[in-house]
Amino acid sequence: MLADFLRLSLKALSERRARAVLTIVGIAIGPLILVMMSSVVGSYSEYIVERITSLGQNAIAIFPTENYRLDAEDLNYIRTFDAVKRAEPFYNTQGIVKRGTEETKVSIFAVDYNLLFEAIGSLEIGEGAIPPETDTLSSIIGRKIAFKDDTRHFSLHDVLTVTVPKIEGGKITGKKTVNVVVSAILEEYGGALIVDPDSTIFMSLEAGRRLLGLDKWSGVLVLADNPANVKPTVSALRQYYEEKVQIIAFSSIAEAISSVTSAITFINFSTSLSAFAVAVAGVAATMITSVMERTREIGVMKAIGYTNFQILLMILLESIMMSLVGATAGISTGVVGAYILSSRGFRIGGIGESGITLQLNPLITPTLIIQTLALTILIGLAGGVLPAYRASKIPPVVALRYE
């Protein structure tokens, strides 16, 4: 019987094709926006959170403020925490590497290699090997320093000439050049958004001190024994140091970014709901008109034995079918739109020399499709239920008299 009702409803829709098509277009806008925006925002959100998370969920970075100097006493204090697995100082500065005729800005990070690779678990050596900590002339360089657009500029054992600030008495007094040997080249990391290993030269802590002339630690990198212990450790350190240092836990950044992306997703969802609300009104208007035009027909149906429920079902099926077609059209164009939108890429500035441009495939999941489909069908139901109910309740004699 349901198949017959579907057939009858489809015929009713096809009779008023232009109106049905316009209503379907109205319905399709909601799922289009929802799928397109959610999948694009979702893919970037997931990527960004994943990259932040990859920095290590048990890593904490402590940076001194301008008027405070971290020293061995601080290091010893930090190491007294039961939850602290390791704590090592690091030096961080900027430099310029000459690649042929071109100069490239790079970050220089002098840190204990083992701690570095433990903190950033997804950091991998592509070529060469990690040099010994005592080797102050060797370095590990990021992929974008060694290569540019797949063109190799530096190989293993090449000497890099890096221009760095000259520091005397704790102050920058000019520029100087240092030479470092390439001992290893990292696999492409892709940008962690806070740091950019692809554009960084990593060297040992001792190299940082000797080669770069840095005497003031840029900070202390702390590794907690467990991600669950990060928050209490950060709290304890903040309580101890108050305003003297800035403490950043990568897990907190991930959490914050996750909150921001959730908010964006919610705003996007709310925007889509406006389109859905318009669609409800569209469906309702179409169905009310349709019911009015077919009042006499409804009277005949009742006279020949259709129950109120069967009339309600037939009218509702019409709006549900419009929603289904609208959902299919909206989701399909949403998917296409998402790929077009993603293909433009998304530039994040402030990282590396010229920021990084993310170009990701939209995150189109079965859950997103099913949720959008369900929501769109709900729109059809919401828009159709009142006209269908009214149609089902028209007394047959009144309907038959209708002109």
Partner 1 sequence: MPETKQKKPIIQLVDVYKEYRAGTISTLALKRVNFQIHREQVIAIMGPSGSGKTTLLNMIGLLDRPTKGKIFFDGLDVLRLDDKTLANLRNTKLGFVFQTFNLVNRLSVFENVELPLIPRGIPRGVRAKMVLDAIIKVGGDESWLSKKPNQLSGGQQQRVAIARAIVGKPVVLLADEPTGNLDRASAKVVVKTFLNLNKAGHTVVVVTHDPEVANCMDKIYVIRDGEIIDEYSSNKAESLINKV
Which of 5, 63, 339, 346 touches partner 1 (CB under 8 A)?
5
308 binds partner 1 (CB under 8 A): yes
Where does this chain touch partner 1 (CB under 8 A) — which range of 31-39, 53-61, 130-138, 301-309? Answer: 301-309
Phi, psi dihedrals of residue 328, rounded to the nearest 5°: -60, -45
What does the angle CA 258 – CA 55 – CA 339 come to, to the nearest 5 degrees?
55
Nearest to 274 by CA among 365, 375, 139, 191: 375
Query: Smallest distance from the beta carbon of 318 to partner 1, in angstroms?
Result: 13
Which of 302, 320, 364, 380 touches partner 1 (CB under 8 A)?
302
Which of 172, 281, 303, 386 touches partner 1 (CB under 8 A)?
303
What is the C-alpha separation between 168 and 333, in angstroms, rounded?
62
Where does this chain touch partner 1 (CB under 8 A) — which range of 1-9, 149-157, 219-227, 383-391? Answer: 1-9
Which of 297, 324, 332, 333 touches partner 1 (CB under 8 A)?
297
**Segments of 230-304 assigned E as strands:** 245-249
291 binds partner 1 (CB under 8 A): no
Task: Rank residues 24 and 399 by Cβ distance to partner 1 and give the closer one.
Answer: 399
Query: Smallest distance from the beta carbon of 2 to partner 1, in angstroms?
Result: 10
Q: Which residues contact 350 (CB under 8 A, 6 or more apart)?
A: none
269 binds partner 1 (CB under 8 A): no
Which of 305, 349, 366, 367 touches partner 1 (CB under 8 A)?
305
Nearest to 258 by CA among 59, 51, 46, 35: 46
The continuous run of DSSP H or E covering 40 comes out as helix 17-54
Where does this chain touch partner 1 (CB under 8 A) — which range of 95-103, 116-124, 298-306, 376-384? Answer: 298-306
Task: Rank residues 216 and 296 by Cβ distance to partner 1 and give the closer one.
Answer: 296
By CB under 8 A, the residues from 6 to 35 that bind partner 1 are 8, 11-12, 14-15
Nearest to 69 by CA among 245, 248, 223: 245
Residues 190 and 145: beta-carbon distance below 8 Å: no
What is the C-alpha separation between 390 and 403, in angstroms, rounded?
17
Which of 60, 195, 306, 338 touches partner 1 (CB under 8 A)?
306
316 binds partner 1 (CB under 8 A): no
Query: Smallest distance from the beta carbon of 382 to partner 1, in angstroms?
Result: 25
Query: Smallest distance from the beta carbon of 35 to partner 1, in angstroms?
Result: 34
Q: Which two tokens stand for residue 320?
A: 């549900």
Nearest to 60 by CA among 241, 212, 201: 241
Residues 27 and 287: beta-carbon distance below 8 Å: no
Number of residues in contact with partner 1, rule: CB under 8 A?
Answer: 26
Q: In the 8-state DSSP scheme, what is residue 227?
A: G
Please report where in the chains the tokens 């390439």 appear, as a residue. Answer: 182
In whole angstroms, how far apart are CA 72 and each of 32, 61, 122, 228, 243? 58, 16, 29, 26, 19
Residue 134 CB neighbours (<10 A): 9
Query: Smallest distance from the beta carbon of 21 to partner 1, in angstroms?
Result: 16
Q: Which residues contact 267 (CB under 8 A, 6 or more apart)?
A: none
Query: Smallest distance from the beta carbon of 315 to partner 1, in angstroms?
Result: 15
Partner residues linked to 147 by β-bridges: 152
Query: Smallest distance from the beta carbon of 325 to partner 1, in angstroms?
Result: 18
Q: How many residues are listed for the chain in this entry?
A: 403
Task: Rank residues 141 and 315 by Cβ distance to partner 1 and give the closer one.
Answer: 315
Which of 69, 152, 296, 344 touches partner 1 (CB under 8 A)?
296
Which of 159, 277, 300, 336 touches partner 1 (CB under 8 A)?
300
The continuous run of DSSP H or E covering 355 comes out as none
x/- track of binding to partner 1 for residues 384-403 (CB under 8 A):
-----------xxx--x---
Q: Which residues bind partner 1 (CB under 8 A)?
A: 1, 4-5, 8, 11-12, 14-15, 296-297, 299-310, 395-397, 400
